Amino acid sequence: MKVVAYSINPFEKEFLIRANQKKHDITLISNALSIETATYAEGKDAVLVFTNDDVSENVINKLADLDVKFIATRSKGTDHINKKAAEKRGIKLANVPTYSAQAIAEHTVALALALGRHLVVANKNAQDFDFRLNDLMGFNFNGKTVGIIGLGEVGLATATIFKGLGCKVLGYDVQPASDIIDIELIKLDDLLRQSDVISLHVPLTEHTKHIINKEAIGMMKPNVMLINTSRGGLIDTNEALKAVENGKIGYLGLDVYEFEKGLFFENHEHDKHKDVLLKKLIAYPNVLITPHQAFLTREALQEIANQTIKNLDLWQEEKCVGDACVCNKNCREKMPATPIIKDNFDHLP
């Protein structure tokens, strides 16, 4: 299969090459997919994309005109892909339905611990040879209540780590698994009201966009810690900034940002005009932002590469990609495979 992979970072190459084993003719380029760069897909059967690529209707139509038949994203989330446009043009879609939940979970807890003990501020002070303890008082996680929104693999892995720290863990999911233990399942409003720490682990859909909004923030405890390692659009960032400013949110850890497209994964150090909202957030010492790196471990990258190549293998064999299929229902029925595991919240009306 002839393939072009967009938005390839240097650290990805070895993992994709190792997974591919020269089975497919893959062209790796650093350019993001856009209406202009779609021409690089000419003569290709499939394209590989990432979360910040433009996979909108216009781009999909351009790819379809170039006779591209498949789009595989090197991510679990698919909110960047216009699925209706792909269906209309007969392009099959696939994602990476699961990979190293521990990578995301560990980064989530790392953000929480760094915020709780003011590690970023302490490190900055130390670099200036300022070793005073002023403004560095933290808190014990032991005995605190942590609310996990979304109890998929990542949410459960995160809950396990927090429980290991001695936290009481509350959980909310629209359709929790029946075998969940050691997590108290409660309503979302109750979780927001009772939690000292709140961590988001749901996909971005029309039902979860701004699940953390002005009303939700109003229910939270004063000085609450909010962590998001899922998708930026889950939080109304303007409302979160207001809550940081007035002290309602005492600690904010973000590995994702609502307006990160075209910003994250690139160097904007010398830009004359920087994202104003992000600049305001970064200025607060109780806000910690990382550049969508929770997935960035050797183990996770290899799993992502393996699944991506597996998707290409199955398509080449004219088989459905099973759990990785994010096409429409008709596609799945025509090409039966293993049962489809749906993201939490996808089944909402």
What pLDDT, on the 0 to 100 scale, is given for residue 278?
97
Whether residue 223 sits in one domain with residue 120: yes
What pLDDT, on the 0 to 100 scale, is given for residue 331?
57
Which of 271, 289, 307 is where one domain is finished? 289
What pLDDT, on the 0 to 100 scale, is given for residue 329?
54
Whether residue 225 sits in one domain with residue 285: yes
Residue 41 in contact with residue 17, Cβ under 8 Å?
A: no
Whether residue 195 sits in one domain with residue 62: no
Q: How many domains does the chain have?
A: 2
Tell whether 343 is covered by a domain: no
Whether residue 198 sits in one domain with residue 70: no
Tell whether 349 is covered by a domain: no
Whether residue 281 sits in one domain with residue 132: yes
Whether residue 158 sits in one domain with residue 267: yes
Nearest 5°: phi and psi at 140? -80, 135
CATH code, domain with 45: 3.40.50.720
Tell whether 204 is covered by a domain: yes
Reported as a single tens digit per residue, the pLDDT across 303-349 is 999 999 999 999 999 999 999 999 865 554 444 443 333 334 433 33
What pLDDT, on the 0 to 100 scale, is given for residue 178?
85
Whether residue 242 sits in one domain with residue 145: yes
* Cβ partners under 8 Å of residue 32, min gap 6: 6, 7, 52, 53, 54
Whether residue 181 sits in one domain with residue 80: no
Among 93, 63, 92, residue whose Cα is nearest residue 78: 93
Whether residue 280 sits in one domain with residue 194: yes
Whether residue 222 sits in one domain with residue 130: yes
Q: Where are the beta strands (DSSP E) in the chain?
A: 2-5, 25-28, 46-49, 70-73, 92-94, 145-149, 168-172, 184-185, 197-200, 224-228, 249-254, 287-289
Domain that holds residue 208: 101-289
Tell whether 105 is covered by a domain: yes
Tell whether 341 is covered by a domain: no
Whether residue 235 sits in one domain with residue 150: yes
Residue 286 in contact with residue 112, Cβ under 8 Å?
A: no
Active site residues: 231, 260, 292
Whether residue 91 sits in one domain with residue 15: yes
**Encoded amino acid at 293, one letter:** Q
Tell whether 47 is covered by a domain: yes
Q: Which residues of the chain have pLDDT under 50?
A: 332-349
What pLDDT, on the 0 to 100 scale, is given for residue 337?
43
Tell whether 347 is covered by a domain: no
